[in-house]
A and B are shown apart, each in its own frame.
Chain A
Amino acid sequence: MEIALISPANASIFGIPAFIFSVLIPVIGVGIFTYIMNKRVAPLLKASPDFRFDRITERTINLIKLWLIQYRQPRYMLAGVLHIMIFAGFIILSVRSTSLVVIGFSEGFVLPGLNGVIGHAYNILKDYAATMVLIACIIAAVRRGFFKPKRYAVPEKYGKDHTAEAVFVLGVISTLMISESLFEASLAAAQVQGGFEAEFLAPGTLVRLFKSMLLNTPAATLQNIHVGSYFVHDLTFFFFLCFLPMGKHFHVITSVFNVFFMRLNKGNIKPVRYGVDDGKLDEIESFGVKKLEDFTWKQILDFYSCADCGRCSDQCPANAVGRPLSPRFISIKGRDHAFKKYSVLGSDQKQEELLMGSVYNEDEIWSCTTCGACEQECPLMIEYIDKIVDLRRGMVDEGMVPQSIQKPLSALEKRGNPWGKMEKKRADWTKELPKECNVKMIEKGDTSETLYFVDSITSYDDRMQNIGRAAAKILSAAGIDFGILGSLEKDSGNEVRRFGEEMLFQDLKSNNTEEIINSGVKNIVTADPHAFNALKNDYKDLPPVEHISRTIVKSIKAGKIKLKGVEDANKIYTYHDPCYLGRHNDVYDDPRAAIDAIPGIIRVEMEKYMDRSFCCGGGGLMLFYEPEEEQRMGVLRVEMAKKAGAHVIVTACPFCLVNIEDAIKVSGLEGKMEAIDLAELIEKHIEAE
């Protein structure tokens, strides 16, 4: 039978039958790939356990939403769209790529199911896909190589710039698209020349363009292009396959797993070791992460999956103020360490390498406020907070705790609050309440339906006690029967756990849990998002917990509380989402609804709001830590409020209030900008009966 061109399966290169290469290249390629993958899987097998094979339905839905539909990508629009184009192209072209490999030794191979109409439809689809990928690659290459967006920059201390590698890979992908199109275009051109039936090539595709360019090329050249581009494609394809696990493009392989096994619960911290109950913690030899294998397999998989996109660091408040933390490089450095320790080249390095002091440094790890902006942003669902906490656990285990944190930790141990104030004074803030405001004192034997969990800062800090009083007045006005634990209450321990002092956290947790259960309350309300988070996500077997913003909204809806018109109609208000209320617990609407319920109030949103809210600087123990930074997070946040035209920043967290009020003073904006807590704002506007 006459054919337009000799296919690679039947051709010969310098006298050698080409199909030998078509077999060898895949075999060698897959062989090397397997060898590399073996090395990559090795640390995962030695790592700590992590139970992620549950809740399969949820995981599958996440997979479809976050991996297949790339739901998070458009948060950075241009890069997101480009990536969706390339990703969609890859998915579509995966079928073609598979067929191509086999075509190299079995001419005319067609995957089962792809004959007839479906086959033709697919061919058109794949041609558009390849075109789309090439366009995206060119735009991306220009963007990376020429415009160099800031978030890809590599600070000197982290080594060489990554742009060359990024552009190289775009070049590799482009090569795949071009070679595949050339392979097909050369055949189509030859078919046209030879008067044969040609495969329909859709308009606007790369392959159609190539075909028209090749219409007048001599047949012999077309033959060479045909076979040549095939093997260029084959070699590039298997080169790329082996290249993937060597760097940031490993995410191409690992992303599907990383998303499937992603974290399902938010706001909580992983146990010291999965499989070891809280009661059995004493049996663990070593706490936290000190060497690579102390991480769980999922955490190491996270390192592999980092695509170096820099979105995490771009959103990281610590990074923004010049602290030595860049979440992106937590992943990159972790990945590079794993690659070195389980090296593809030489033999595995047998020495145990302590991570702190070599891969990571202390200030870097203590700088994190656990705000969660990084995790919220990462398109690969990489988790950061648990890793930071595990590294801190390791440092605490070795006594490596910054001096500034040791005093509050010791005070928490001895007195149940970081300032070392006396337990019997924990309820003193209630003394200034009006008589009508009835607060039950559980420590004196009172009982109540609801527990108002005050937590340490609201109990002891002169300024924050106002929040406590405002909250008490709101609960009272809403007709809620509530009490406080007083001296029976200890710090919720949210930051204690996040700073790695797990045993002290367990101590605080069991004390509080016991007192809460003993009190017999049916539900808990708090105005402190850190306490809210701990009680809801880290404590177990407690009655339901809600933040006071929910209580306010419920009470207004039920008509229990009526609000009068806004005090100063000329002031513009803005709401700052606290990290532990918003991002970690998805409470965004209640506080806004509460504010908007004040008749006549004008509220604007800051540039970074809701799940992109910018951390105020951190709460709990973070108030005591002395970081190296160029300026305070609170100052940046106040500037954002100013930019939005606001005069009043409303927040729903005492720590946010501390940091923002401080920042207002440091920025010299006293008198022009003020901060107020949600409870204070609402309480001020309660219409007296």
Chain B
Amino acid sequence: MGKIKKLFFYFFAIVLGFFGKPIFAFAILDIFTEPVKFIIRLAAGAGLLILVSFLFLGVSNAIIGWVTMPNFVTVSYTRPDNLIVQYGWTTVRDFTNLLFILVLVVIGIATALRIREYEVKRTIPRLIAVALLINFTPIVCGAIIDASNILMNFFLSAGSGGYSTMINVLSNSANILISTIINFDVRNLFNGVLLFQALFLVAFNFIAGFVLLLFAVLLLLRHVALWILVILSPLAFFCWILPGTKSIWNKWWNQFIQWCFVGVGGAFFIYLSQVVTQNATAGNLFAKPGEMIAVGSPTLRNQISEALVFSVPLILLSIGAFTTMSTSAMGANIITKKAGQMLNWGKGKAGGYARSTWQGFKDAGKPIKGRVEGAARRRIDTIRQRMEGAHWGKDQAGVKGKAKRVGAWTFRKIGEIIGEEMVPQNIAAKAKATEEGKKIEDKYTFKKEMEKAAGNIAKEIGLIEGALKSGKLKDFMKEGAIDQNKIDRAFEDSVKFGFKDSTKAFNKYFSGDDNVLRKFASIQDKVTANMTEEKRTTAGLTQEDVQKGYSSYKDKVLAESLNKREDFENLAESLNKMPAAEKQKTMEHMVDMAERGLFGKEQIGHAGRVMGEEFVSVFENRLQENLNKDELFYHKLDQNSGKSRAWIARFAATNPVARELGITLPENISKNLNKYESFSRDAEHSVRQFSLESANSMARPLADLNLAIRDAQGKQNNKDAFPNLSEEERQHEAVREKILSSAYGAIENKGIRASERIKNLDEIGDIIDAENTAVRKFAEESSARESLENIRTASKARRERLSHP
């Protein structure tokens, strides 16, 4: 598929113009393939649904066949072989016999009191009848049960038994549907015959299966219900004697009849629907493939007419279901109620499916458009990056090299043009999606919106960014609405297409997660691999980032994303979900960043305020550790960044929390805080000035100094030529020492201001006097010394070039 797609791509790229609108190549390609894929998926889904519906019907039929088998329950309803009934009934009967004496007393009293309804004349005949009948209730009950069983079994065992006849008809119809699909005629697709037949079969199978399953459960329950009713029958017959207890008899009788005939109604409709179908068809519901032709043809109309007629069995089955469900047999209503709930659930699901299918039809074009746009943009962007990164023939001389350079330049320009074309300019759309994403509360909506946005890069990024900003993304991830791969992809796109705000938002959100940051760094490297040197990253850092003092991607992310209190709160929330060791590591990293000048007092203050004791303790431990190693640690510049970290000592000295916790600085430092801080600031200033602005201005006086030294050395080396210069030599040596130490001190501690004063050798002595011991001690260890050495070397070289043109 990949190769074929590539061929198509190049074909359309040539046809439409490679550098014009290459996106169309993919668009056209996917326009052809996506509908076919959609139809295949739809057909596969429909086939699967038909299969499942047949399976359901078959299982239901098997269950009802099993339940209605004569040997299913081997014990009878009323006979003594059923020990439960036997013992239960005997006990109830004996107990009821005891009650007869009580009834005789009641009748006697009622007669004496002239309560007409209870008088002997009315109640004695009933009493005698019941006293006799009570010993034969199983026979009475058995007769009624047998009658109902005969009726029900007649209906259920007709034909091949159960619902087998109808299943045969349905299977034949399914075969016709399959052969219609195999002998594919596009007209059947568009005139709706295939869809109609598939829907009809699925509906028939599910409704019939449901009704059969309902019967099976009811019949199973019927056994137990009738046993209980037979056991209670002596008591029920006894209740018939007195008017006051007659309602109990009525209730029993009603339940007994209901339970006996509960299955008859349903069985009758199953039978009826089978008889109707069997006799009205030639064994199948649908016309054969050859008979179906275009829309509006007489054959199709016949097909629809027949289908309407055959919907009668379906309706009959439904009536059977409703009849059964409307029974008021005690216990049966629980089953019917559950069945009703299942039906409603099924209706809900079917409705939902129908709605989503309809939505799917409506949105069918969107994914195609989105995927085309997304995929094409990504592919073209890869090409663009390669073109922008073209630097052939850089070091190659001659015509060939020149030709290569011209070619590379041309490619780079074309890449830039494509880049402008490619970058989704619709920042407003992304911002809108971000706002939408912020409002999404639940995973379902988020998932749905992401599916809708599939392929629309700006919208995808926007939705995720919204979830990042609302802080819900991790919840959505946990709930499975989005996975890390999708987030990585969105991050990649945000880097690729220059959505800087989004990239920052991603970094910020995951700033506490080292694993994700490592992945993001490698994505940055991948995306920028073919870009220009300035834009290219290594371990997520550009050259500019390195110059800023970042030594890892985490440095960059934390330094650029942690500014306000909320940023630290989000970070703390993220860290609280991580293992304690990881949390500790990140807090140590933050303190480390403060030492390297990447964090200021505001950030450390926020961190302390938000993370409290945990962070302050990390900060305090590090402070004591550093001061134990070197009491001037905080007043020396950071070796990598050249930045002052004196503020940390001041923070420790002036922050009320630090004071309350008794965090102490060495006495020398705490007494000379301002002085040391001033040295440190000057040193930082000097280094900055050296590196950025003043190298040339510093080079001149230093070059002069070097010249003087060289002259002195030259004279020293030529003692024979200048034998009287030994005194001068010593002087020069002394001067040299003075020059170097004062220059170090001046440059490192007084910066440019001092260096401007180094105009002649006479002034140097004054400068030296002005320096105190503490400054020199500090200066010797400062990184400014290295800068001075570099400049001295550079100026020496420059002077030499001037001396020997």
Partners in one complex: no
Partner-B contacts on A (CB < 8 A): none
Partner-A contacts on B (CB < 8 A): none
